[in-house]
Structure 1
């Protein structure tokens, strides 16, 4: 097995196709939409998906930053060699797409200021720190991980949703409704400015900022629009009441669905909530099973 090459192919797959549940959700939205402009827009988005998949062109010019979740069973191991292969495969995949050059040159200050320009090769864009997921995880999206499991999930996260995302503390006041309604309000405000709706927003609720964001990323990797929880249906319903619609044109379809992942909590007056209003080319996800 050529792991590096298979990882490269996974990056291309994540960038150029969406999963079947997302396509079905979009098709349902087109059938239900009564706003003529919104229905036309959704049809154009579906055509864009099909063209990208057929031609292996990226779904969007913003090809995203690679995020990786390694899902591992009790009888498998993660080696330093595998981690190096993940980095090498991502670089190869971004170069072969080709992705958009986005890696910033320079030292710490120069990278912040973007004063030295960009690397020409897309593969110079390094992935975010790798997350490890095992059977001990306790959350809404907890996985039934068998002992021999070793899956590598690749997420390509674009800049627009990142600009509109946030991770903040919420005083829960012993009320789940207060926490989830605050998250919905944040998302509603963000979706008005996103531009690239319909969205599939994600919410992670944990004890720390790192944990909440990690829960959000796992929900994006594992979520399925054909299997939505009551909480996820509630979030989608409230956001669709905004009638922002596709590309802000109005209509019923502001979101196609949502992901809500709630992890461990601690005795405290606050819950840490992370929200991401994904754009209509996200979530871009692929999985490699080793």
Structure 2
């Protein structure tokens, strides 16, 4: 029961607070912004963060779909009991938050058509399939995972960014710049339509659509805006040059930072690229260490 309660608290934490690096990035953006409307929007966003954390109220009405990464060292076991506790803890957290009811009732056809309505309890919203990470992972965001590590990362993914996300093939033409510029072009288009910038977009580059999105999700859990790579700095510069700005008001800050995670590649002319723009309340992440 203790683990279930701690998972519930982690879900509430992810929904109501942002990490220090994101708050610092927003404060820095306010300081350098000279567009009056953009500066006002950024200040209102910061105030929203502070109110949500103080009241333990969700950062956004779209409380998101839970995603879980289990980070496991070689001496730890992932049991069926733990997986059940994760599901129970997430349901308890969504109910205690309380999250917005979003789980659709019915069989496969009724769920697609949303023809018989929603469940009243927020906890009926099930998490996405759980992703397991270990020391054998090879990617930009590769972790040094000690043998006794067992961390649960909870990520709440909102609907707006999912609508604007994209996963597709890119012919690399033996040029990393061609691949990353294609991803930036996709993000430029999506951020222009998102409506709730500034964003912290994520890019995953892998061999399959599943792998590219798994790499993207790991970057969301592990990324830090105070430690940006040269590639991420390039992405930030290109996207901020679009002038979209916070809430589309223009200005210097379309993105607060970005995450770019490149995994294993296969002998092929194709790279599978996944991009996801986040809204200004994301990434919503919390970690429970067991």
Give the TM-score normalised by structure 2: 1.00
How far residue 278 of structure 1 moved from its aligned partner, in angstroms, is 0.4
- Tell me which residue corresponds to 1:4: 4
Q: Distance in 2 between matches of 1:237 and 1:92?
A: 41
Show structure 2 runs of 5+ residues with no match: none
How far residue 248 of structure 1 moved from its aligned partner, in angstroms, is 0.2
- Tell me which residue corresponds to 2:80: 80
- Tell me which residue corresponds to 1:132: 132
Q: Distance in 1 between matches of 2:256 and 2:6?
A: 30
- Tell me which residue corresponds to 1:31: 31
- Tell me which residue corresponds to 2:225: 225
Q: Distance in 1 between matches of 2:251 and 2:267?
A: 42
Q: Distance in 1 between matches of 2:186 and 2:34?
A: 27
Q: Distance in 2 between matches of 1:215 and 1:187?
A: 17
For these two proteins, the number of residue pairs brought into alignment is 290
How far residue 174 of structure 1 moved from its aligned partner, in angstroms, is 0.5
1:79-134 CA-to-partner distances (Å, cap 9, x unmatched) read 00000000000000000000000000000000000001000000000000000000
How far residue 238 of structure 1 moved from its aligned partner, in angstroms, is 0.1
Q: Distance in 2 between matches of 1:279 and 1:170?
A: 25
- Tell me which residue corresponds to 1:255: 255
Q: Distance in 2 between matches of 1:236 and 1:17?
A: 23
Aligned residue runs from structure 1 range 180-191, under 5 A: 180-191=180-191
- Tell me which residue corresponds to 1:207: 207
How far residue 54 of structure 1 moved from its aligned partner, in angstroms, is 0.4
1:119-158 CA-to-partner distances (Å, cap 9, x unmatched) read 0000000000000000000000000000000000000000
**3-state SS of 2:153 partner:** strand
The RMSD of aligned alpha carbons is 0.5
Q: Distance in 1 between matches of 2:173 and 2:110?
A: 44
How far residue 227 of structure 1 moved from its aligned partner, in angstroms, is 0.3
Q: Distance in 1 between matches of 2:233 and 2:36?
A: 25
- Tell me which residue corresponds to 1:177: 177
Aligned residue runs from structure 1 range 106-125, under 5 A: 106-125=106-125
**3-state SS of 2:257 partner:** coil
